[in-house]
Every structure is written in structure tokens, then in C-alpha cells.
Amino acid sequence: MKKKGKPLSFKKKIAFSLLVLIIPFIFLLVVELLLQVYIQFEYGVSGKSYGIWKADSELCAVQAPNRFNTQTETNNLGFRGKENIIVPKPEGQLRILAYGGSTTFCYNLSDEDSWPRVLQDMIRENPGHEEDQVINGGSIAWSINHLYKRANREINEIDPDIVIIYSGINEDYNAFSLISENKNLKTLRNNDQYGLISFKISQCSWLIRNSIAYKYYTYKLKNKLKLFKPKDINHKEIYTRSTNYEYFDKDWIWNNYIYGLKSMIELIKEQGAKPIFVVQCSKEQGDHLVQYSNRATNLMNEMNVTVINFCDKLNRDEYFDTLVHYSKKGAVNFSTNLYEELYNRDLLRH
């Protein structure tokens, strides 16, 4: 009969348990460090740090100055692109600031192919406009009220001549995120509470901002680990079902959008710049994602804001990578139409 081994002491059990817990953590830490080294070697930009977002008490996260990731980089003031912004604005420079969400940021395209950059290149082809600048003020997942809070901080310093607003697709996302924070939109409407933004968008997460491994898992590996391919998502069906939530209130979403839009227009005018409202386009006519932008045109006319709408020239699948995000070809088409509108309205004169 085999002799039984001496049972582990309490201290050894504790030590073994800690070791079991620590080993996975050490493994993940090593993976993270290796990924950090790889990203720095493969995509690193001299004088810039990895990760384009930083924590912010008012907006939960904002784009940080002089940062980079695997796709893009930010300039000295935290806007997308390599070209820095000179403050104060150089004499004789026409400066255009384009605000919006991911459809302005153009996350699916390179810096050079994003529509604000393409528009800038077109303007600079004209003699005397070589130093003119178009600033990409897009921020992924931001609603109009996110943009207003940001603009309120920086527009005076940047001193733009023209401010383009291309925003509206993130209003429902902002509302559903607020609902997930236990906000009742019906109650908010009854109390006339507007200008609210959600703190539950992806960049609010510390891990999303700082961990390459976590981002890779979230955006790449998570879906690949699924054993079965999910059915195609019918976004319209999901939107219809979502509107039945107890806390949902479509009127509040519209009022919240208009609150932010009016505030933005008033701020732009106070700073002596000219607001331009560009209606958001989709490859599917009547898509709910662009409903607020389209509906706001009457209000913009009442506020004497220049409204530009050329969506009828962009209703082809080849111009979009998603329902609302332009392809490389679509960004060129969008920029060409926008440039022609600005030129024909004599808005590009110094």
C-alpha cells in the first residue's frame, strides 16, 4: 500500500493559489509588452506616443496631442493628421474646421484619403491658397453635444474662418448609451434636460485607450472566436425594436440634437466664423441614421446658416464602405462636390 504524501500546509496552499492567479496576469503583461514593442517598431512616429485618446472629466475621453495608432496620428492640438496647427492663425490663411463623428474622422481611411484632407488638397491647388488649412475635427461616436462641448474649449484659439458641421448619425447611439446608464429619456424631456452626453462609448474605457491586447481582442479576435458565423444584422429592425424600450423617447433625442446644434451655431457666429451645415448622406435613401441631419435643414435655414446637400450625387454603393462611411472613391466625390459648393458660393476667398 502506497504511503500518502504529507498534505500541503496552509501557507503553501496560499502560495500555490497566488501563483495560479499571478501566472495568467504575467502572461498577459508579457503579451501586452511585446505588442507595445511591435506597434512602436511597425507604426511608431518620432516624438509621438501610442494611443490617440486620453481621459477627460467633461467628455470622458478626448483625442490627445501628438499621438499615433496603427492607422493614424494626431497633431499638436489633438486633431487627426500630421500637419500641426499654428496659433495664432497666420495672416492670409483661410482656415476651415470640420466637426463631426466617425464620418468626418473617416476611421476606415488613411489620413491622406479622409475627406477633410482631400478637400484641403483641392483648395491648395489654387494659386494663393497653398497655405490654407482644413482641420479634421471628427471624433468617433460623438454626438453633436460632444462636439459642442469640445468646440467651446478650442474654437477661439483655432480661429477658423469657416466651420463645417457634418453630424447627426450618433444621436441614437448617444441616447441608447444614456439609457444603459439608467437615464429615462421621457423623464429628461419632461424636465427639459438637454445637452446630455453618454460616458459609455468605447473610448471611455481605460483598457480601450491603453491596452493593445484588449483592443485586439475586442475589435478583431472576439468575433473570430465565435464558433458559428452570426446572422447578418438588420440595423433597421434593431432600431425599431429598440424604440420600444421603456426609457426611450424619440422626441427627446431630436430636442437634444437641436439643443446641441443651436448651441454650436451660436458659438461659431459669436467667434466670427461662418457655419456651414452639410446634410449627412447614406447609401440607402431614407436611412434612419441620417434622419436628424436631414430634418434639421429647415431650422438651419431659419437661423440663416448655409446648407449644403448633394446626397443625390452620392447614392451609389461604390461610394460607401458602410451605410454612412465613405470609401476612398466616395471621399473624393464628397470633397469634390463640397469644394464646388464652397467655390461657387464664393466662400473660399481670403
Write down the pLDDT at residue 160.
98
Write down the pLDDT at residue 4.
57
Residue 17 forms part of a structural domain: no
Q: Give the domain range for residue 281.
A: 43-344
Residue 27 forms part of a structural domain: no
Residue 224 forms part of a structural domain: yes
Write down the pLDDT at residue 240.
57
- Pairing of the two strands 133-138 and 306-308: unpaired
Residue 141 forms part of a structural domain: yes
Query: What CATH number does the domain containing 131 carry?
Result: 3.40.50.1110
Write down the pLDDT at residue 321.
96
The dihedral sign for the CA sequence 202, 168, 194, 192: negative
Backbone angles phi, psi at 175, to 5 degrees: -65, -45
Write down the pLDDT at residue 227.
47
User: Would you mind telling me the total number of residues written for the chain in this entry?
Assistant: 350
Chain-centre distance of CA 345, in angstroms? 29
Write down the pLDDT at residue 291.
93
Residue 25 forms part of a structural domain: no
Residue 10 forms part of a structural domain: no
Half-sphere exposure of 231 (CA within 13 A, CB side): 2
Residue 269 forms part of a structural domain: yes
- On whether the CB atoms of residues 103 and 326 are closer than 8 A, the answer is yes
Residue 233 forms part of a structural domain: yes
Write down the pLDDT at residue 224.
67
Query: CA-to-CA distance for 103 and 281, rounded, in angstroms?
Result: 10
Say which residue the cell 500641426 belongs to: 84
Write down the pLDDT at residue 233.
44
Closest to 105 measured CA to CA, from 95, 119, 115, 97 = 115
pLDDT by 10s per residue, the chain, length 350: 555 556 667 676 677 677 778 888 888 899 999 999 999 999 999 999 999 999 999 999 999 999 999 999 999 999 999 999 999 999 999 999 999 999 999 999 999 999 999 999 999 999 999 999 999 999 999 999 999 999 999 999 999 999 999 999 999 999 999 998 999 999 999 999 999 999 999 999 999 999 999 998 888 887 666 644 444 445 455 555 555 567 789 999 999 999 999 999 999 999 999 999 999 999 987 778 899 999 999 999 999 999 999 999 998 999 999 999 999 999 999 999 999 999 999 999 87
The helix or strand, by DSSP H or E, that contains position 119, with its residue range, turns out to be helix 115-124
Number of helices (H) and strands (E), helices first, in the chain?
14, 9
> pTM here?
0.90
Question: How many domains is the chain built from?
Answer: 1
